[in-house]
Amino acid sequence: MPYLFTSESVSEGHPDKVADQISDALIDNFLAFDPSSKVACETLVTTGQVVLAGEIKTDTYLDVQKITREVIRKIGYTKSEYMFEANSCGIFSALHDQSADINQGVDRLVDNNDFESKANAQGAGDQGMMFGYATNETDNYMPLPLDLAHAILREMSVIRNNELELMPYLRPDAKSQVTIEYSDDDQPIRIDTIVVSTQHDDFADDATMLAKIKEDIINIVIPRVKAAQKAELHGLFTDNITYYINPTGKFVIGGPHGDTGLTGRKIIVDTYGGKGAHGGGAFSGKDPSKVDRSAAYATRHIAKNLVAAGLCDQVLVQVSYAIGVAKPCGLYVNTYGTAKVDMHDGAIAEKVSEIFDMRPYAIEQRLKLRNPIYSETAAYGHMGRKNEIVKKTFGSNGNTKEVEVELFTWEKLDFVDKVKAAFGL
């Protein structure tokens, strides 16, 4: 029987995403000047105020206020009427040293400098389970409802930052939601509902405002989103889509003034939009010794390569750890009955564990996670993004450093041939 599935996204100006972006900007700056930094940084944003709190072990010094203001400015909170503005907001830092009790299980001194010694010495930064998911319903192996929800807000962000004459009233805060009808064999049939709520400048007349925003979303944003999809998906965009555009009415008060934001509150937006599963741990503000982040990336890397290799149509991969222990407690694979090989999922998991080394140090090295690559992850999802090499510039205490880094390494299909060989595909 056909069914409906829904996913949501939020813009870079959403208060929780503002917090995520500040936390990850601090991570990047610490790693740029000291790649061995251990950081757990939480951010709270509210009316005219930013609070930074967390634990850090590093050899570098940062002007955290300057970095925070640069992030807020880049997002677009640059006007006093927003009641949260880059140049004037207060910034309180309560960052302090990392607990030595935690660090002793993560950083152990080793006599040998070889890979195996380091891999066995570096334990997981915490206990817990992490999940990765992939499906072949989109070119980037992401669930379609989330992919479209992200795409809507990315187009609105492009317009707000580069083509404001098209929708001159847009402000930074926005949310989207997409509901898709699937057939009983899990194929998308049509888009049922699209919800968009966007912060905007004040209008003289509320009815005129609602009509104008709805018209622009349907006639400007949605056609651009449709055009960016592969041809097979264009038929999903019918004239029978139900639209809810700013359904509560006026949305002038938004951002951190309208709703307090915290790091790590958008973990489903960050991952798979509710498809698959989630272990509960947030990503932003954490260095890669925290397996909440690094192992979630590693399981996505596994899942994507399995599907791309043709092993299955969709797959969920789980890994779990004990704090301070390098070897995972377990690896679980669920192909939802879509496996193309005559093997139970348990046997598939055994082979997968032979292909992918899931010790925390091995993950860090394989995916190049000790580089400043995290600011780009903090809005529009950590998964399904473009793998590319970029140059980034950082400044600290009068010093400037330019580094070349590879973004979204967990999206690479560099293990497809190994998977095919292992499973005889």
Report the binding-site residues for K(+): 42
Q: How many CA atoms lie within 13 A of 355 on its CB side?
A: 23
Tokens of 72: 């807020």
Binding residues for L-methionine: 55, 98, 259, 290
HEC per residue, the chain: CCEEEEEEEECCCCHHHHHHHHHHHHHHHHHHHCCCCEEEEEEEEECCEEEEEEEEECCCCCCHHHHHHHHHHHHCCCCHHHCCCCCCCEEEEEEEECCHHHHHHHCCCCCCCCHHHHHHHCCECCCEEEEEEEECCCCCCCCHHHHHHHHHHHHHHHHHHHCCCCCCCEEEEEEEEEEEEECCCCCEEEEEEEEEEEEECCCCCHHHHHHHHHHHHHHHHHHHHHHCCCHHHHHHCCCCCEEEECCCCCCCCCHHHHCCEECCCCHHHHCCCCCCCCCCCCCCCECCCCHHHHHHHHHHHHHHHHHHCCCCCEEEEEEEECECCCCCCEEEEECCCCCCCCCCHHHHHHHHHHHCCCCHHHHHHHCCCCCCCCHHHCCCCCCCCCCEEEEEEEEECCEEEEEEEEECHHHCCCCHHHHHHHHCC
Q: Are 45 and 181 in contact (CB under 8 A)?
A: no
Sheet holding 261-262, edge to edge: 90-97, 49-57, 38-46, 261-262
Residue 355: CB partners within 8 Å, gap ≥ 6?
415, 418, 419, 422
Q: Which residues are annotated as a binding site for Mg(2+)?
A: 16
Q: Return binding residues.
A: 14, 16, 42, 55, 98, 173-175, 250-251, 259, 265-266, 282, 286, 290
Binding residues for ATP: 14, 173-175, 250-251, 259, 265-266, 282, 286
C-beta of residue 396 within 8 angstroms of C-beta of residue 61: yes
